Amino acid sequence: MTVELRVAEGWLTVCELEALIPGRGVAALLPDGSQAAVFIDRQGRPYAISNRDPFTGAQVLSRGLIGCAEGRPFVASPLLKQRFDLSSGRCLDDDGVAVRTYPVRTAATS
Protein backbone atom coordinates (compact mmCIF):
# COMPACT_ATOMS: atom_id res chain seq x y z
CA MET A 1 0.00 0.00 0.00
CA THR A 2 1.14 3.53 -0.69
CA VAL A 3 -0.09 6.85 0.65
CA GLU A 4 -1.18 9.33 -2.01
CA LEU A 5 -2.01 12.97 -1.81
CA ARG A 6 -3.96 15.03 -4.34
CA VAL A 7 -2.18 18.11 -5.60
CA ALA A 8 -2.80 20.31 -8.66
CA GLU A 9 -1.04 17.79 -10.90
CA GLY A 10 -3.15 14.84 -9.69
CA TRP A 11 -2.48 12.09 -7.11
CA LEU A 12 1.07 12.14 -5.80
CA THR A 13 2.58 9.06 -4.17
CA VAL A 14 4.21 10.14 -0.94
CA CYS A 15 5.48 6.95 0.69
CA GLU A 16 4.76 3.36 1.63
CA LEU A 17 2.12 3.03 4.32
CA GLU A 18 4.61 1.16 6.53
CA ALA A 19 6.78 4.25 6.65
CA LEU A 20 4.16 5.90 8.85
CA ILE A 21 3.96 5.25 12.60
CA PRO A 22 0.39 5.51 13.93
CA GLY A 23 0.18 8.72 15.94
CA ARG A 24 3.15 10.38 14.23
CA GLY A 25 3.63 12.26 11.02
CA VAL A 26 6.07 12.76 8.16
CA ALA A 27 6.71 15.73 5.90
CA ALA A 28 6.36 15.57 2.12
CA LEU A 29 7.76 17.99 -0.43
CA LEU A 30 5.14 18.92 -3.05
CA PRO A 31 5.77 19.78 -6.70
CA ASP A 32 5.06 23.48 -6.13
CA GLY A 33 7.73 23.60 -3.39
CA SER A 34 5.26 23.71 -0.53
CA GLN A 35 5.21 21.07 2.21
CA ALA A 36 2.53 18.74 3.56
CA ALA A 37 2.34 16.93 6.89
CA VAL A 38 0.99 13.40 6.51
CA PHE A 39 -0.30 11.31 9.43
CA ILE A 40 -2.11 8.09 10.16
CA ASP A 41 -4.19 7.65 13.28
CA ARG A 42 -4.54 4.58 15.45
CA GLN A 43 -7.12 3.12 13.09
CA GLY A 44 -4.77 3.54 10.15
CA ARG A 45 -6.73 6.43 8.58
CA PRO A 46 -4.51 8.89 6.70
CA TYR A 47 -4.67 12.70 6.96
CA ALA A 48 -2.72 15.47 5.26
CA ILE A 49 -2.46 19.14 6.14
CA SER A 50 0.04 21.89 5.43
CA ASN A 51 3.34 21.38 7.25
CA ARG A 52 3.64 25.07 8.07
CA ASP A 53 2.83 26.14 11.62
CA PRO A 54 0.99 29.42 11.00
CA PHE A 55 1.98 30.80 14.42
CA THR A 56 5.72 30.61 13.85
CA GLY A 57 6.07 30.09 10.12
CA ALA A 58 8.23 27.01 10.70
CA GLN A 59 7.58 23.84 8.68
CA VAL A 60 7.10 21.55 11.65
CA LEU A 61 3.50 20.36 12.02
CA SER A 62 4.51 16.87 10.83
CA ARG A 63 6.59 16.58 13.99
CA GLY A 64 3.74 17.19 16.44
CA LEU A 65 1.89 14.64 18.53
CA ILE A 66 -1.55 13.44 17.44
CA GLY A 67 -4.43 13.40 19.87
CA CYS A 68 -8.17 13.20 19.87
CA ALA A 69 -10.68 15.86 20.96
CA GLU A 70 -14.40 15.10 20.89
CA GLY A 71 -13.77 12.17 18.65
CA ARG A 72 -11.81 14.12 16.05
CA PRO A 73 -8.09 13.69 15.56
CA PHE A 74 -5.78 16.71 15.86
CA VAL A 75 -2.07 17.43 15.81
CA ALA A 76 -0.46 19.66 18.45
CA SER A 77 2.26 21.88 17.01
CA PRO A 78 5.62 20.92 18.53
CA LEU A 79 6.58 24.58 18.89
CA LEU A 80 3.87 26.40 20.81
CA LYS A 81 1.39 23.53 21.15
CA GLN A 82 -1.62 24.95 19.30
CA ARG A 83 -3.83 22.11 18.09
CA PHE A 84 -5.09 21.69 14.51
CA ASP A 85 -7.99 19.48 13.49
CA LEU A 86 -6.57 16.98 10.99
CA SER A 87 -9.68 16.76 8.80
CA SER A 88 -10.60 20.44 8.56
CA GLY A 89 -7.26 22.14 9.26
CA ARG A 90 -9.00 24.44 11.77
CA CYS A 91 -7.00 25.57 14.78
CA LEU A 92 -8.77 24.43 17.92
CA ASP A 93 -7.12 27.13 20.01
CA ASP A 94 -7.69 30.14 17.79
CA ASP A 95 -10.85 30.43 15.70
CA GLY A 96 -9.22 32.86 13.32
CA VAL A 97 -6.56 30.43 12.15
CA ALA A 98 -6.63 27.38 9.90
CA VAL A 99 -4.15 25.48 7.75
CA ARG A 100 -4.93 23.95 4.39
CA THR A 101 -5.78 20.30 4.07
CA TYR A 102 -5.08 17.87 1.22
CA PRO A 103 -7.25 14.99 0.02
CA VAL A 104 -5.35 11.84 0.84
CA ARG A 105 -5.87 8.08 0.18
CA THR A 106 -4.13 4.77 0.48
CA ALA A 107 -3.74 2.81 -2.74
CA ALA A 108 -2.66 -0.70 -3.49
CA THR A 109 0.83 -0.74 -4.95
CA SER A 110 0.61 -1.79 -8.58
Partner 1 sequence: MSNPQSPPPAGRPSLVLVGHGMVGQRYLEALAERGATATHAITVLCEEPRPAYDRVHLTSYFSGTSAEDLSMTPAGFMAEHGIELHLGDPAVAVDREARTVTSRSGRVVPYDVLVLATGSYPFVPPVPGKDSPGCFVYRTVEDLLAIEEYAKDRATGAVVGGGLLGLEAAGALQGLGLATRIVEFAPRLMPAQVDDGGGAALLRTIESMGLTVHTGVGTQEVLADAPDGSVTGMRLSDGSTLATDLVVFSAGVRPRDQLARDCGLEVGERGGIAVDTRCRTSDPHVYAIGECALASDGRVYGLVAPGYEMAETAADDLLGREREFTGADLSTKLKLLGVDVASFGDAHGATEGSLDVVYSDSRAGVYKKLVVAPDGRLLGGILVGDADSYGLLRPLTGSVPPAAPEQLVLPAGIGAPAALGPASLPDDAIICSCHNVTKKAIAACATLPEVKKCTKAGTGCGGCVKVIGQLLPPPAEKGLCACFAYTRAELYEIVRTLRLTSYDQLLDSHGREAARGTDGCEVCKPAVGSIIASLAPTIGASGYVLAGEQAALQDTNDHFLANLQRNGSYSVVPRIPGGEITPDKLIVIGEVARDFGLYTKITGGQRIDLFGARVDQLPQIWSRLVEAGFESGHAYGKALRTVKSCVGQTWCRYGVQDSVRMAIDLELRYRGLRAPHKLKSAVSGCTRECAEAQSKDFGVIATANGWNLYVGGNGGATPRHADLLAQDLSDAELVRLIDRFLMFYIRTADRLERTSAWLERLEGGLEHLRDVVVHDSLGLCAELEALMADHVAGYRDEWAETLDDPDRLRRFVSFVNAPGAPDPTVKFVPEREQVKPDLAVLQISPSPSLEPLGGTR
Sites of contact with partner 1 (CB under 8 A): 12-15, 19, 21-24, 26-29, 33, 35, 38, 41-42, 55-60, 63-69, 71, 73, 76, 78-81, 83, 93-95
Query: Given CA atoms 57, 52, 74, 102 in this order, what sign does their dihedral have?
Result: positive
Task: Give Dmax (Cα) for the chain.
Answer: 42
Q: Which is nearer to partner 1, 28 or 104 (CB)?
A: 28
Q: Which amino acid is at 93?
A: D
For residue 108, the minimal CB distance to partner 1 (Å) is 18
Of 53, 49, 19, 55, the closest CA to residue 37 belongs to 49
Q: Which is nearer to partner 1, 37 or 101 (CB)?
A: 37
For residue 95, the minimal CB distance to partner 1 (Å) is 8
